[in-house]
Amino acid sequence: MPQLDGLRAVAMTGVMYHHWLPASWRYHFPTEAGLFLFFVLSGFLMAQGLLRERESLPFLTILRRFHLKRLVRIYPAYYTALLIAVAFGSREIWQAPAWWLLNAQNFFILHLGYWPPGVSHFWTLAVEQQYYLVWPLVLLLVPRRALVPVLLLLALGSPITRFSSQSGGWLSMDLIPWGVLDDFALGSLLAVLMHRGVVFPHRIMDVVGLLALAAYAFLYISWEMNHPVPHWCHMQQTFLAVALMALISRAAQGRCGVASVFLEHPWLVQLGQWSYGIYLFHNLAPFFVGKVFWFLWDPSLDPTLAIWLRLPCFILVTALLTWACRKWIEARFLKIKIR
């Protein structure tokens, strides 16, 4: 599904833009939406594989294969990134290493009350791993007839969680795994429907996606203008998840219209295939560059010029770290055959 890799690349580009450039350069554009695309896509792909294996393999075999695959795919590169972050001087990892080693750093960051420099993005990896522990049980143990209504109910749990957590600010709503439950649930719902052979006319999916996107845009703009719509503002992320669900449904079938040529471009597809490593290291790049080329942060330097000088350094460091980790760490583990 090359168009899904293309979507990963687009999402990754938005995340890098969000982390590398000043907030004033975003012009209120929701560059962080790329994170939620990763969550919806993860729910879709996870459910797709589990449902396919559910048809022919025993429950315990599916669980063993699922967790072993994630062990060899995710942790070698992740622990490499942690070691590099420690080498660069990340005091938050030194402060509480067990939280990071056990993939519970989202709760630790919530406890800190601020985004730790260089490693703040690892909260999403923690949420993913926490879902990997629970989500297979939902998809494999819930009776087939009940799976769709259960996923819909779980999706509704997220806006309720965000409403009940609003007193703690956006940190408390983003970092807890059940705060992004709608992304995983709706991605999985799409996989369940496709697995059952349900084919929606593209016009219906397009209309649903566009209406959801319009609702998201209205709520997002209202929030950005400091006039959030009471109660409904907590549905903002859910509407975005529905819009992304419609987009993924098209990309999974290779039917993104005129955008297909763009999403299937070889460079974009390869960028999407390398997106995990890029995500791991892209936020460490400013951490490293700031220590080696500290003068690029000199107050006497023109701010706009400084940003343009830093950007190629960020790209180069990210590319080198991603390539080195892929070649010398990930490749060794990816050769392991999981049976």
Domain boundaries, the chain: 2-19+34-334
Instruction: Judge whether 205 and 246 are in contact, CB under 8 Å.
Output: yes
Q: How confident is the model at residue 306 (pLDDT cuts 50, 70, 90)?
A: very high
Residue holding tokens 């409403």?
A: 163
Q: How far is CA 93 from CA 77, 115, 121, in A?
A: 16, 13, 13
pTM exceeds 0.95 for this model: no
Residue 281 neighbours by CB distance under 10 Å: 26
Instruction: Judge whether 328 and 83 are in contact, CB under 8 Å.
Output: no
Write down the pLDDT at residue 143.
93
**Would the pLDDT of 136 be above 90?**
yes
Q: How far is CA 24 from CA 34, 36, 221, 226, 298, in A?
A: 18, 22, 16, 16, 19
E-strand ranges in the chain read none
For 293, the enclosing helix (H) or strand (E) is none
Report residue 27: phi and psi, to 5°.
50, 40
Q: What is the pLDDT of residues 97-116, one digit of tens each?
A: 999 999 999 999 988 888 99
Q: What is the pLDDT of residues 247-298, one digit of tens each?
A: 999 888 877 777 788 888 899 999 999 999 999 999 999 989 998 899 999 9
User: Which pairs from 195-204 meet CB under 8 Å and 24+ separation?
Assistant: 195/47, 195/48, 195/51, 195/52, 200/249, 202/250, 202/255
Instruction: Judge whether 295 and 313 are in contact, CB under 8 Å.
Output: no
